[in-house]
Structure 1
Amino acid sequence: MRRLLFQLPMLLLGLISTAQVKKDANNAKNIAINWQIIENSHAGGGQFLSSLNIQNNAPLALSNKNWKLYFNFARRIVQETVTENVKIVHVNGDLYYIRPTEKFKSIHNGTSANIEFASKDWAVNFTDAPEGFYMIYDDAPNRPVPIQNVKAIPSTRPAQYARNQQDRVPPITPQIIYEQNKNSIDIPEKDLQKIFPSPLQYQDKPGEFILNQSVKITADPAFAAESNFLQQKLNRLLSPIKGAPTGKSIRLMLDKSLGAEAYQLEINSRQILISASEQAGIFYGIQSLLSTFPLQKRGVKISSLKIQNASITDQPRFHFRGLMIDVARNFQTKEEILKVLDLMGMYKLNVLHFHLNDDEGWRLEIQGLPELTSVGSRRGHFSDSTLNHLPPSFGSGPFLNEHHGTGHYSKADFMEILKYAKARHIRVIPEIEAPGHARAAIRSMHARYNRLMKEGKTAEAKRYLLHDLNDRSSYRSVQNWNDNVMDVSLPSTYNFIEKISDEIIAMYKAAGAPLQTIHFGGDEVPDGAWEGSPNSLNLVKERPELKDVNGLWAYFYGNIDRILKSRNLYLSGWEEVGMQPVLADGKKSYVINPAMGDKNIHLNVWNNIIGWGAEDLAYRLANTGYKVILGGVSNFYFDMAYQKSFEEPGYYWGEYADIDKAFNFIPFNSFLNSNTDKFGNTLKPGFYDTKERLTEKGKANVVGLQGLLWSETIKGPKNLEYMIMPKLLGLAERAWAKDPEWANEPDSTKRKAMYNQAWARFANTLGKKELPRIDAAFGELHYRLPTSGAVIKDGKVHLNNQFPGLKVRYTIDQTEPTAKSPLYTGPISAKGLIRFRTFDSQGRGGKSASIINEQEWNVTPKELP
């Protein structure tokens, strides 16, 4: 009885606490949050002002105590500007929380509170908004409650969407789009090129080849896998037929006189012959053959099809034609990666650069280091004592297994990806980001250290530690982390690098996949790293040639280079690997390090932002001796927004980049079409006069082109596909085909006319052939459908599209156009609000837009949909 009397108050307290938690949770679920940009260039520039409006729709008041509101926000908040009734506390990275002060007035049912604060840089679209809101009550610290009702209010005033006073890029409108599309004239499909990307030589021949299931495929033994690949494609397209074989054949023949990846394709009425010196060439010849097939509906088999007789000789311009996908910031499933590999193979891209770790996630199982995935691949709410996962980032939310913050590839998954890539002649370059952007690895190895120390295994605990436990360095990375840099002075850091390298090598060997390099990052190490590390400072004292901690940069990559070369691999990294920090007048700058040139070090060069001063960096590195992959943000960062619009997803810190930025890029003369800076200002004459051009040595060191998809804003496969497609087709054309004729025309007027003609052919090819081919091949691939342009002429609405051939449908009753709405075939004479929308060949619609024709109607501007 005494025990029951003792336990009763505790049980009652538990019931009361549980009831309170439920009330708090219900209250939080009824909170609505609206975020809005107030103005850019706030308080003299360099920051913007925005507001959070918190509305309480629950019966309980939101008081001035007992709660924290967590959220992710990519911008650094200027704490001095925060409204005085709350505190906004930076946790780490992009994670913040709001805590009420005593001055906070309770928000009762049906009322709201406004919180204003300034942040660094600027904001333009909904991607800039804070996200991932969840509430934590003090009496339930481990029971986060997500806030679901969150909106970003569109901007309407120049002060909201102009980044600064220099910003000349206007918000996109149907009228602007119409003007942009004026060169996308309609070209009959019969006059378009049959093969994409553009082959080296193509010639139509008289006659046709009739393809059906009686046609036999014969192949050199070396091409058995490619023969099976082709047969599978034909089986999906052609229905079985009865009757004797016709004697027609498709031959896959070895021809050692052809170069690497080159092929010849001959189609006559009796035979299709594909010749190559290696399997990749045969594979590309098959892809070209498939691209000549007439368009068919997905899942519908036919008895036969006619193929135009032709003679094709082809080979790629660059042997590195890559796509980088970041799965660290937000995870993508194995199935989505396999889908991307199919798309890459279809367009003859041959390198998947796999960004497998970063501050916000480690995505690859490594045998012997379980914490890398048990800790480093999971994100969720945490307390100060939590070390078994990472904090929420990029709106991933408080729960471990929701959204896209958590996930990894098992060894079996990864080897399946490697095998799938190999079958499509795509080599996979694994990236292990170091020494910066390494927080997931650092925290994982710290968790391992704690586990083994508890077991009394001190030496083993320290074996792979990535930071000095006594480090007091103070720094802040670009993404606002203060603990994301490996300590490169520690022997245990190199133990870790060797362990990871050996495990990766073993997986490639088991998968039978080629491995030539491991990419070891190198970008964005913040100033201040290592300056408070006792171990780093001691190493500098022991090695006078290092001079100071800045010398640790070359020291680190010299060691990595030796580790990889001892394993018959070469080093790949970001452009910073070829640079070194120098101090002058107390200021740090970065210059090219000639000592690492001519050592077969491959650099991905991203910085070609017009106006930043490094427009020629890729050329200078190539001239110095580094092997260079061109992937400048101004042309090939696929996470950049297509256009300036509040509703258009993606970042834009480097450029607004539609597909034309990839299409008009000339690899050995990147200055040719870069006529404006990222703010839309026309460059002054002579802007490039002081920039370094490629030497003949430099040209030989440009190994290829690469598109890049960073995933801070990418939430799932639909977002991924929207951002990479159709931009990837512009990359494919430039990486495979020789320079277009217009690139070599010295007269600027003639060059512009020639470019417009080339663009029209390209745009028609995409709209009439390639995008429908993708629909048929994949069924569902959520590429971006461009918004149509619109103008009013002579009292009628005229529409056009970036890619002629796509269907445009419209409504005149203010409703959203559907696949059954009227098809645009000519100017629309109806008055009032005209809505229009682009559709693909399967009836999937893009974003709709509208224009008002002269009318007598009574809808006021504020009521417009």
Structure 2
Amino acid sequence: MKFKLIAAVITLVLTTSGCSQNMAEPLEAEALKDKSLTQLTLNQLGDTLDIKYRLISNYPDGCPTSGVDGRCFSAQIDLTSAIDIESKDWAIYFSQMRPVKSVSGEEFTITRVKGDLHKIEPTDSFKGLKKGFTKTIDFRGELWQLSETDAMPNYYLVSGELTPVVIKSTQVTKDAETGMELRPYNAAFTDADTQYRRSDTDKVQWATPEVLFLANQGVATQPESAVNTIIPTPLSVEVTSTDRPVSFAQGIKFNLNSIDAGSITAALDRLARIGVVHNEKGIEVSFEKLAGEQISGSYRLNIEEDSIEISAGDDAGFSYAIASLTSLIDTKYLSVNTMSIVDEPRYGFRGMHIDVSRNFHSKQLILDLLDQMAAYKLNKLHLHMADDEGWRLEIDGLPELTDVGSKRCHDLTESSCLLPQLGSGPSAESSVNGYYSKADYIEILKYASARQIQVIPSMDMPGHSRAAIKSMDARYNKYMALGNEHAAKEYLLADFDDKTVYSSVQYYDDNTLNVCMESTFHFVSKVIDEIAKLHAEAGQPLSIYHIGADETAGAWLESPICKAFLADNNRGIESGDELGAYFIERVSNILSSRGIKPAGWSDGMSHTRHENMPAQSQSNVWDVISHGGYKRAHEQVNLGWDAILGMPEMLYFDFPYEADPKEHGYYWASRNTNERKLYGFMPDNLPANAEQWTDIQGQAFEADDTVQLDENGVRVSGPIKKGMGFTGIQGQLWSETLRSDAVVEYMTFPRLLILAEKAWHRADWEVPYRYEGAVYNQDSGFFTQEMRARQLKQWSLIANTLGHKELSKLDRAGIEYRIPTVGARIDEGKLFTNLIYPGLAIEYRIDGGQWQIYSSPVTVEGAVEVRAVAADGNRRGRPLLVR
């Protein structure tokens, strides 16, 4: 033992004096044979332990191949040590999206700690790790894994009271050319049949270059078609001349008349970004305020050879007219044709949702997002700031929400932070932690107001509330220790004697507010009032607040407080099944009493009793069309609520663009939501989309929109009532797998531009809604061949506008949009390529050689890779191998 102590000291001296690690290793290896580890040895292990994660199959022996029940996947974790380890006094914590069901072998166990946090521990049978040798942990998990991004990063080592250490081999890296995250610890998928199929009936094709090449057919490269095209498409455009373009090379001169310059400053800044600045010698632009009632955001834009006139009824209209002018201007030539535009929006609510709670994202990202939303005429930012994994807004009087709830770290007591989740690692200093101060939030609000965008705050409740619950638990413990029981219980959200066993979709058993406690409603009211104060200070009154109200997992049933509440029955609640609705109804009325419209996700809102809800309520519909989601959407429209469409299979931007395991994102409703699919969405006729889409497994489905009755003759579903319809549309971005701002931009852009197109413009190829009801499938024929041809023609215009004009403007704004993967095939020895939107350069290389520009079909031989280039030439897309 004395020798070991001397060896450890010598190792410490050698290491700190700059001597090589190799010199220290033999002595350190001797120290590692002890029963416990030192901080030094734990650090060394974290630096050198090589971990590899590998999905083996979604069809292991002994698991069903169809359906959901009993399904499992098999995977492996390799541990390769650079040093000998005999100690059993350590554990590896890591995030595993699907819970581990079983482990093979006798040397290790894997247990789930909470949510997705798991722990690997050596057993009594552990025989040690030998330098240079690999030990493999075979395990099975629930359901399936279809993406390489499922393997979360930042495994970390824990031993006793030592400081936890991240295992370096499990950290993400950044690709120098694409800017995207790489996971060197995760083995690439190689087998489409066993690794990229969800079940034995799965027909989704891996988006190889050959598959993409076929999908991209029908869209020719037509740069001239982008010249007079605006995204989003105006109501009407009359081009009056193409041979005398109006040049902006000398800049632009403004005649504002009575228009407030501050209301259009942001729009003018975007114009300046592409090279058109104020100049007394520039072409004159005059503004005219239209009298009488106008649709908000509508405008008229008249471009003549020597002047431009803009007419609108409000600030939004003037800003949108400038946005259209900016869209028309080619960044290379700074000119436009003469034309006259009359425009107005399709929907009054044109929104984008971003989740900053699962993984925090910077204030600058939000400001950049707001800027681009305004550029494309979106007007609602749904800011999701509280969920299970984080609380992201400073609330006056409740510092614990951010002191504890805004960060995740390795504190198993959760007195200083939440448990690590989603690969966040053990440190509170991680970039996925953080919050907006009151000043930050006010800045966001003011920035949004200057761009005619309303911010809708969302703190999810009563489910998805673990961050709030644990923060208030910490507050309770703090004040109880001070002997102040009243303060301790004032905002308490949990009944400590509640023995209910439940599991949320994210595998939490403690994430739901106790809705039977008055302190819960005191907390909710406090949060609402403090957020309202911030809005008032920013000059954007709080008029919509999103409760969340979704995915409540069956809590409260064994809560003594709830049992007493139900026994008292002074609120007309008969059973525990009604408690979720009671919470939503009560909070909705709290909001309504303050002049604030309540909003919630459609599943929670559907549980409420309509007569108990405020007449002015908003439901955000997130139901999957192929699973009958149009039925709930129609039901909530018919209640007279503002129904906002957010259908996951095309409006969830955290889903993959293409069906490729290397693409980022979750995939529970869609594995391929690219820009073309989003453009094809028919939002005013949800069931009609069954004529052009397949479900999550690539199979055709039917949507029956006729009146359906139950056995008692009561209507359970049916068409929308005549004269009623959807209020708006919203894109959703959830951040469970999106840890960096760069990945958020990759997932959001350029899809946001097509979202804006659907929100602003009603295409003439969309199938009209049939209020009498109809049954839609791939043979029903409502979506005629003539409509399909018009859809393809108009998509070709949009696609060329993206590739030849709009993406270069995103480059100038510093937006790291996704560069599309290239469609390609080799026919008779020649390489042919295409892109989902033409206009970007394509490169190819052979046998790992130098990349070359692709300009026309070229003879190739060997292993051929293809990739696209950003509009400004500075970034590259992900390369694909043409087989």
Post-superposition offset of 1:264:
0.6
| 2:290 matched residue in structure 1 | 255
| 2:202 matched residue in structure 1 | 167
| 1:788 matched residue in structure 2 | 822
| CA distance in structure 2 between the partners assigned to 1:755 and 1:833 by the alignment | 36
Q: Do the aligned partners of 1:328 and 1:360 also contact (CA within 8 Å) in 2?
A: yes
Distance 1:742 1:489, change over 3 A: closer
Q: Do the aligned partners of 2:251 and 2:276 also contact (CA within 8 Å) in 1?
A: no
Kindly provide the amino acid, as one letter, of the partner of residue 483 in structure 2.
G
**Structure 1 stretch displaced more, 710-719 or 743-752:** 743-752
Q: Do the aligned partners of 1:249 and 1:270 also contact (CA within 8 Å) in 2?
A: yes
Kindly provide the amino acid, as one letter, of the partner of residue 348 in structure 2.
H
Post-superposition offset of 1:368:
0.8
| 1:734 matched residue in structure 2 | 758
Post-superposition offset of 1:727:
1.3
Post-superposition offset of 1:82:
4.8
| CA distance in structure 1 between the partners assigned to 2:200 and 2:228 by the alignment | 45
Distance 1:654 1:146, change over 3 A: same
| 1:769 matched residue in structure 2 | 805
Does residue 393 of structure 1 match 2:402? no
| 1:758 matched residue in structure 2 | 794
Does residue 671 of structure 1 match 2:708? no
| 1:360 matched residue in structure 2 | 389
1:86-116 Cα shifts (integer Å, max 9, x gaps):
2212111111101111223322111111112
Gaps of 5+ in 2: 13-30, 65-69, 171-183, 709-716, 769-780
Does residue 459 of structure 1 match 2:493? no
**Structure 1 stretch displaced more, 414-423 or 666-675:** 666-675
Q: Do the aligned partners of 1:146 and 1:397 also contact (CA within 8 Å) in 2?
A: no
| 1:530 matched residue in structure 2 | 556
Distance 1:577 1:697, change over 3 A: farther
Post-superposition offset of 1:684:
5.6
| CA distance in structure 1 between the partners assigned to 2:100 and 2:139 by the alignment | 7
SS at structure 2 position matched to 1:811: strand
Q: Do the aligned partners of 2:189 and 2:195 also contact (CA within 8 Å) in 1?
A: yes
Distance 1:679 1:75, change over 3 A: same
SS at structure 2 position matched to 1:102: coil
- The match for 1:493 among 514, 517, 520 is 520
Distance 1:82 1:428, change over 3 A: farther
Distance 1:707 1:315, change over 3 A: same
Does residue 129 of structure 1 match 2:151? yes
Does residue 475 of structure 1 match 2:489? no
Does residue 142 of structure 1 match 2:163? yes
SS at structure 2 position matched to 1:823: strand
Post-superposition offset of 1:29:
2.1
Kindly provide the amino acid, as one letter, of the partner of residue 721 in structure 1.
E
Following superposition of structure 1 onto structure 2, how do residues 175-190 of structure 1 map, counting pairs within 5 Å?
Answer: 175-190=210-225
Distance 1:749 1:62, change over 3 A: farther
Post-superposition offset of 1:724:
0.9
| CA distance in structure 2 between the partners assigned to 1:315 and 1:774 by the alignment | 24
Q: Do the aligned partners of 1:625 and 1:697 also contact (CA within 8 Å) in 2?
A: no
Kindly provide the amino acid, as one letter, of the partner of residue 78 in structure 1.
K
Post-superposition offset of 1:238:
5.2
| 2:235 matched residue in structure 1 | 200
SS at structure 2 position matched to 1:195: coil
SS at structure 1 position matched to 2:853: coil
| 2:40 matched residue in structure 1 | 22
| 1:858 matched residue in structure 2 | none
Q: Do the aligned partners of 1:223 and 1:252 also contact (CA within 8 Å) in 2?
A: no
Post-superposition offset of 1:650:
0.9
Distance 1:62 1:638, change over 3 A: farther
Post-superposition offset of 1:190:
4.5
| CA distance in structure 1 between the partners assigned to 2:342 and 2:166 by the alignment | 62
Kindly provide the amino acid, as one letter, of the partner of residue 382 in structure 1.
D
- The match for 2:882 among 848, 851, 855 is 851
| CA distance in structure 2 between the partners assigned to 1:743 and 1:171 by the alignment | 30
Kindly provide the amino acid, as one letter, of the partner of residue 288 in structure 2.
M
| 1:290 matched residue in structure 2 | 326
Following superposition of structure 1 onto structure 2, how do residues 201-240 of structure 1 map, counting pairs within 5 Å?
Answer: 201-206=236-241, 207-211=244-248, 215-229=252-266, 231-233=268-270
Q: CA RMSD in A?
A: 2.6
Does residue 621 of structure 1 match 2:659? no
Distance 1:750 1:468, change over 3 A: same
Distance 1:682 1:276, change over 3 A: same
Does residue 719 of structure 1 match 2:756? no
Post-superposition offset of 1:696:
2.3
Distance 1:711 1:231, change over 3 A: closer
Kindly provide the amino acid, as one letter, of the partner of residue 226 in structure 1.
S
| CA distance in structure 2 between the partners assigned to 1:131 and 1:70 by the alignment | 11
Q: Do the aligned partners of 2:393 and 2:438 also contact (CA within 8 Å) in 1?
A: yes
Post-superposition offset of 1:680:
0.4
Post-superposition offset of 1:553:
1.7
SS at structure 2 position matched to 1:682: coil
Post-superposition offset of 1:593:
4.0
Q: Do the aligned partners of 2:621 and 2:644 also contact (CA within 8 Å) in 1?
A: yes
| CA distance in structure 2 between the partners assigned to 1:41 and 1:688 by the alignment | 39
Post-superposition offset of 1:230:
5.1
Distance 1:606 1:787, change over 3 A: same
| 1:855 matched residue in structure 2 | none
SS at structure 1 position matched to 2:678: helix
Q: Do the aligned partners of 2:166 and 2:425 also contact (CA within 8 Å) in 1?
A: no
| CA distance in structure 2 between the partners assigned to 1:100 and 1:609 by the alignment | 46
Distance 1:747 1:537, change over 3 A: closer
| 1:863 matched residue in structure 2 | none
Q: Do the aligned partners of 1:177 and 1:789 also contact (CA within 8 Å) in 2?
A: yes
Post-superposition offset of 1:470:
1.8
When normalised by structure 1's length, the TM-score is 0.89
Q: Do the aligned partners of 1:816 and 1:835 also contact (CA within 8 Å) in 2?
A: no
| 1:857 matched residue in structure 2 | none
- The match for 2:133 among 96, 100, 111 is 111
Q: Do the aligned partners of 2:92 and 2:155 also contact (CA within 8 Å) in 1?
A: yes
Kindly provide the amino acid, as one letter, of the partner of residue 168 in structure 1.
K
Query: Percent sequence identity over matched residues?
Result: 35
Distance 1:579 1:240, change over 3 A: closer
Does residue 705 of structure 1 match 2:729? yes
Post-superposition offset of 1:746:
4.2
Gaps of 5+ in 1: 1-7, 297-303, 581-591, 853-865
Post-superposition offset of 1:153:
1.2
**Structure 1 stretch displaced more, 741-750 or 454-463:** 741-750
| 1:815 matched residue in structure 2 | 849
- The match for 2:95 among 72, 86, 100 is 72
Does residue 828 of structure 1 match 2:855? no
Distance 1:463 1:184, change over 3 A: same
Kindly provide the amino acid, as one letter, of the partner of residue 211 in structure 1.
F
Kindly provide the amino acid, as one letter, of the partner of residue 130 in structure 2.
H
Kindly provide the amino acid, as one letter, of the partner of residue 735 in structure 2.
S
| 2:586 matched residue in structure 1 | 559
1:663-716 Cα shifts (integer Å, max 9, x gaps):
1111111222333221001226979896633222531xx110000000000011
- The match for 2:430 among 370, 389, 402 is 402
| 2:677 matched residue in structure 1 | 661
Post-superposition offset of 1:239:
8.2
Does residue 695 of structure 1 match 2:721? yes
When normalised by structure 2's length, the TM-score is 0.87
| CA distance in structure 2 between the partners assigned to 1:252 and 1:623 by the alignment | 41
1:531-552 Cα shifts (integer Å, max 9, x gaps):
1211111111111731111111
Q: Do the aligned partners of 1:516 and 1:570 also contact (CA within 8 Å) in 2?
A: yes
| CA distance in structure 2 between the partners assigned to 1:689 and 1:116 by the alignment | 51
1:185-227 Cα shifts (integer Å, max 9, x gaps):
2223246543210000101123443435574312243432135
| CA distance in structure 1 between the partners assigned to 2:544 and 2:311 by the alignment | 30
| CA distance in structure 1 between the partners assigned to 2:742 and 2:503 by the alignment | 33
